[in-house]
Structure 1
């Protein structure tokens, strides 16, 4: 089978011919139909410390097949697998149980924060390949995808869309008329705009990419702001938002860049929520929080990590009912042979949305 392998950080992925993984007791083999290229995949490729540390913590090492936003077809099941059969279409949540849901958090319905978390492309070989093996300890988290869901949408649900669904439906009670500022309009940020609009909220988007902001407008953002990296520019954006709209209910960060987030805290109303979904890529960043403001307004700061496997059914139901449209969130589909071109485009921040691999031979 063909697989895109990370052999050395910041070097082109190698397209290699590998043996199709052998299925052991309790394992499941997927034929990959589509997989998203997440910004975090790009960060690992760059060798950013936070993700390298996670890869090492979870038992992964180079070379490794990248990719965690996977939608595939079950082609073989190991002995003792009862919940799935050959031909089933499934997604593997980007953060899945690594202990068959036996830890405290899994048993509470939060397998996305399992004590033995498994993320494909970090701890195990991922989905930038024709086939992907899901180990026995994570099979319970595979989610069946009903007929009629577009492959690109299914892949997005695994991480980018799933994380935003967690943010706006589980980590904060977003209501019609609420005002949201989304920092970052990539795959996750654009997904958040889709969800917030579906819930009746009003969204303002901030990003460095003009094409991403154009997508944000298509998806219903009432205002967009281009940020070029200057701190004084962010202060001007905040002042303009405050002047036009007043305080906001939620600030949703998908970038993980402290200096891009902190200026927006004064925008939050009393009992407002700061949602942090972007990973701190250097691994040592700190947020210089204005504690007096956080205390005086009783601002809530909430982390968001992917989506538990137990919460996917509602997403697919809304997709089938036509209440969610992720077509604008998909930037383009490519062949596995074009993955290095995709990383180049991401390095230049030219992609407006998620790049999806859907051709493997």
Structure 2
């Protein structure tokens, strides 16, 4: 099959012919029809994630059709009894970027997004920048796509929108009448803004890019210029600080500014990945203590939580297709992936690869 492959971290990937993935006994192989290009893929390519082994095929936000099912997949498989039915080759599906084991203590408690034995396509094994991708535990991790949902839109939900959905709806506990700031208006940030705007609250979108600020404003957010003095600008514009602040980028500067943007008893939610020096980012703990602030992490979304999000998309409450900034081919992925580390290289909105 064709796939985007790299042999060394940070070196431009190449399009190559590689062996097709073997189907895990309890898993499935998916024929990829669309897959998102995400900053997490850039982190994998740069060697920031120690689960990645070389050579490697990245990619983790995908939608497609079942090409093969493992011999041990139950005939009545599916994470949602009745709603999912029996899986068969050709079914239109997606999967969380965190594939759970279904047997550990976290899975037993319903928290598959932090599974102790999780696998992640594009990180722990070869991913979806390829014609085929394998996943583990099909009965738990496969998610049936509504007929009304196209592959490109489904791929845009995979990591960024689903992560933002759970972060805003579940983790932040955003309530009517509150205000929220979103630091970083890339794919996950714009997703968070779309979800928060739909909730009817006042939203501030923060970025250093004019294009990103324009996209945030188009979705209904109040644009705020990032950089030095960001927190002060948000505090002033919000009349004393926001109730919820989200770092959707992932850096020492954005996480610190996010916490400083909060009013007393406010909640900071960290969505953007923090690697290297950023993993040990300083926090204004004096403000955390004095203001009784909360610092929350948010890591993806379990398969059993997808129906509410898919229902909202199907009903038109959210239109994630509007967040897709560009569509590219598999041949264009190597240069697009490498460009993500440059100023403006990620572009505005999401990039989705169509196969």
State the TM-score, normalized to the length of structure 1. Answer: 0.90
Q: Which residue of 2 is the match for residue 117 of structure 1?
A: 118
Partner of 1:72: 64
1:316 corresponds in structure 2 to 310
Matches within 5 A, 1:163-202: 163-202=163-202
The 3 A distance-change label for structure 1 pair 281 and 138 is: farther
Aligned to 2:287: 293
Deviation at 1:286, TM superposition (A): 2.0
* SS of equivalent to 2:273: coil
Q: Does 1:274 align with 2:277?
A: no
Q: CA–CA distance in 2 between the matches of 1:79 and 1:181?
A: 48
Give the alignment's Cα RMSD to 1 decimal: 1.6
Moved more, 280-289 or 186-195: 280-289
Superposition pairs of residues 254-269 of structure 1, within 5 angstroms: 254-269=248-263
Give the C-alpha shift of residue 169 in structure 1.
1.0
How far does the alpha carbon of each residue in 1:178-203 deviate from its partner, in whole angstroms, 9 at most, with x for none? 21111111110000001101111211
Greater displacement, 78-87 / 140-149: 78-87
Aligned length: 341
Alpha-carbon distance in 1 for matches of 2:147, 2:337: 31
SS of structure 2 residue aligned to 1:269: strand
Match of 1:145 in 2: 145
Q: Is the 8 A contact 2:235 2:262 kept in 1?
A: no
Q: State how 1:23-172 maps to structure 2 within 5 Å.
A: 23-48=23-48, 51=49, 53=50, 55=51, 60-81=52-73, 82=75, 83=77, 84-97=87-100, 99=101, 101-135=102-136, 137=137, 139-172=139-172
- Alignment partners' CA distance in 2, 1:241 and 1:200: 19
Q: Which runs of 5+ in 1 are unaligned?
A: 228-232
Q: Distance in 2 between matches of 1:153 and 1:93?
A: 15
The equivalent residue for 1:239 is 232
Q: 2:353 aligns with which of 339, 353, 357?
A: 357
Partner of 2:279: helix, strand, or coil? coil
* Contact 2:4-2:14 at 8 Å conserved across structures: yes
- Taking the aligned partners of 1:294 and 1:312, their CA distance within structure 2 comes to 33
- Do the aligned residues in 1 keep the contact of 2:327 with 2:353 (CA within 8 Å)? yes
1:345 CA drift (Å)? 3.5
Offset at 1:251?
A: 0.8
Relative distance call for 1:208 and 1:344 in structure 2 (3 A) is farther
The residue that corresponds to 2:83 in the other structure is: none
Point out the more displaced range, 16-25 or 308-317: 16-25
**What is the alpha-carbon distance in structure 1 between the residues aligned to residue 207 and residue 150 of structure 2?**
27
Q: Measure, in 2, the Cα distance between the counterparts of 1:213 and 1:328.
A: 15
Task: For residue 207 of structure 1, report the CA deviation from its aligned partner.
Answer: 1.3
Structure 2 unaligned runs (5+)? Answer: 78-86
Q: How many Å apart are 1:208 and its aligned residue?
A: 2.4
Instruction: Report the alpha carbon displacement of residue 300 of structure 1 after superposing the two structures with TM.
Output: 0.6
Structure 2 distance, partners of 1:258, 1:283, is: 8
d(CA) in 1 for partners of 2:185, 2:225: 10
Contact residue 26 and residue 138 of structure 2 kept, 8 A: no
Q: Where in structure 2 are the equivalents of 1:186-225 lying within 5 Å?
A: 186-221=186-221, 223-225=222-224
Superposition deviation, residue 19 in structure 1: 2.9
Structure 1: 4+ residue segments shifted above 3 A: none
Q: C-alpha separation between the residues in 1 aligned to 2:22 and 2:234? A: 55
Contact 2:183–2:258 at 8 Å: present in 1 too? no
Q: Distance in 1 between matches of 2:71 and 2:338?
A: 42
How big is the shift at 1:138?
A: 5.5
- How far the C-alpha of 1:71 sits from its partner, in A, is 0.8
CA distance in 1, matches of 2:151, 2:290: 46
SS at match of 1:159: helix
Between stretches 239-248 and 298-307, larger displacement belongs to 239-248
Q: Distance in 2 between matches of 1:134 and 1:266?
A: 40
SS in 2 for 1:65: coil
Check conservation: 1:273, 1:299, Cα contact below 8 A: yes
